[in-house]
Amino acid sequence: MTYYNKLVKSGLPSRRTVLKGLGAGVAAASTLAMPRYARAATAGKIKLGYLSPTTGPLALFGETDGYTLQKIRALLGGQLQCANGNTYEIEILDRDSQSNPNKASEIAGNLILNDEVHLLVPASTTDTILPAAEQSELYETPCISSGAPWQAVIMPRGGGKQTFDWTYHFFWGLDEALNTFVGLWNHLETNKKVGMLFPQNIDGETWGNDEYGLPAPTRKAGYEVVVPGYFQPRTNDFSAQISEFKKQGCDIIGGITYPDDLKTFVTQCNQQGFKPKAVTVAAALLFPGGVEAMGPLGNGMSSEVWWTPAFPFKSSLTGQVSSDIASQWEADSKRQWTQPLGYSHALLEVALDILKRSSNPLDRQANRDALVATDLQTLVGHIKFDGSPHKNICKTPIFGGQWVKGEKWPYDLKIVDNTVNQLFAPQQAIKPIAW
């Protein structure tokens, strides 16, 4: 049993317990949880639960969610016309996971049992998506998610052979990230020694896994890997890691960190005279604010790219292309576009499409069936669950990018590698970091 299984089992009554009605409190919970979504198809109120980290250390991943929800609410006007011929009220219940997996599990359970949502939509990070997916599977509630490598959502729940009835996810995978990282590094002259940084959390354990994470496939690609041990998130001292990387002569740093940790690491690298040719990490380099916080040291950092204004796909909701969405965000917020913006929009595209196509959007099983049958062109690409690479997964495009001095903004993210997806040519060549 996984940690999250234990968490949900201990944190809330099981569905079987609820149905048995053991005790007055549980009987009340069953009364709340069951009746409305099981009624016959009539026009009524659809409840969509949306969960993302809008506060806490991972808040940057959720910063575009509230903005996108506001735009979509305005577009819908509180109603949703569905393919079954009925028009329904629709209420989007957005909740803050506070960057905390325990809180995400608790809130997801409350949305399912007390708010009686008809579809759950966890977004942005593994710490939010994984516990919410556990609750959805336990309480038989359809769940569509995005924003974390698919292995981080599947592997901790039983691995690639385990399939799920209620929870589906679209995003790229660690294998694509690896090929993107290697594609970036192959353009540079290096000694092929890679020092890897992994935090002591679910993301670090997934990315650092020797079977399906970055180290083993990186070795297979001909690179030597140095992993000096996992670090505690929000640490203020990377001296041990830097010392080992220097000792081993690492020309490249790869892995996954969050913005504050990367700023500390890069600053200490510069102070201690360790100057690799490439620093390529997932997560931390997604955001312009995180790069700007490093000052001049942000120039030349490289990362995976989820989404950019260069993506050619149209929104199924608004007809806008990615450049339109990015420009609108910048005009409205007076801030530079960030990569989660495209996925904030696409996730709601898919969620609303599921409800529109459902034979009865007030019935969870009908919504699950519509989810399984998803076949939609979105702002981030085509979403269809065709069984590859897993029953519950649809893969989306990924590219390699590098942060360079910008014109309108302090730094711009440029596509420098399209090894994994050839949707468009690189915008420029990658360059070694100029420390």
Return d(Cα 181, Cα 187) in angstroms, integer. 10
Q: Each residue of 305-353: pLDDT tens digit?
A: 999 998 999 999 999 999 999 999 999 999 999 999 999 999 999 999 9
What are the start-end ranges of the E strands in 284-359?
302-305
d(CA 156, CA 4): 9
**DSSP-derived pairing of the beta strands 399-405 and 411-417:** antiparallel
Return the pLDDT at 33: 36
pLDDT at 182 over 80: yes
Judged by DSSP in three states, 73 sits in helix
The answer to whether 411 touches 405, Cβ cutoff 8 Å, is yes
CA distances from 381 to 47, 150, 157, 213, 316 (A): 26, 16, 26, 25, 11
CA 37 to chain centre: 28
303 three-state secondary structure: strand
Parallel, antiparallel, or unpaired for β 45-52 and 87-96?
Answer: parallel
Could you tell me the pLDDT band of residue 161, with boundaries at 50, 70 and 90?
A: confident
Per DSSP bridges, beta strands 302-305 and 399-405 are: antiparallel
Helices 340-357 + 364-372 axis angle, to 10: 120
pLDDT at 10 exceeding the cut of 90 = no
Q: What is the pLDDT of residues 402-433, one digit of tens each?
A: 999 999 999 999 999 999 999 889 999 999 99
Q: Render 378-411 in DSSP notation, one character per residue.
A: ETTEEEE--SSS-TTEE----EEEEEEE-SSSSE
Contacts of 226 (CB under 8 A, 6+ apart): 193, 194, 195, 196, 244, 245, 248, 250
d(CA 376, CA 429): 33
pLDDT score recorded for residue 256: 94
Pick from 131-145, 153-167, 191-205, 404-418: least confident: 153-167
Asked whether the predicted pLDDT for residue 274 surpasses 90, the reply is: yes
The partner residues of 257 in beta bridges, in order of sequence, read 283
C-alpha 47, offset from chain centre: 22
Give 51-102 pLDDT, tens digit per residue: 999 999 889 899 999 999 999 999 999 999 999 999 999 999 999 999 999 9
Cα–Cα distance, 435 to 337 (Å, whole number): 26
Could you report the per-residue pLDDT of 205-248, keeping only the tens digit for each?
988 988 878 888 789 889 999 999 999 999 999 999 999 999 99
DSSP letter at 148 equals S
Strands 252-257 and 302-305, how do they pair? unpaired
Spell out a b/e string for 5-17, using b for 16 or more CB atoms within 10 Å of the CB, else e: bebbeeebbebee
Q: What region does 240 belong to: left with phi over 0, alpha with psi -120 to 50, or beta?
A: alpha
Across all residues in the chain, what is the average pLDDT? 89
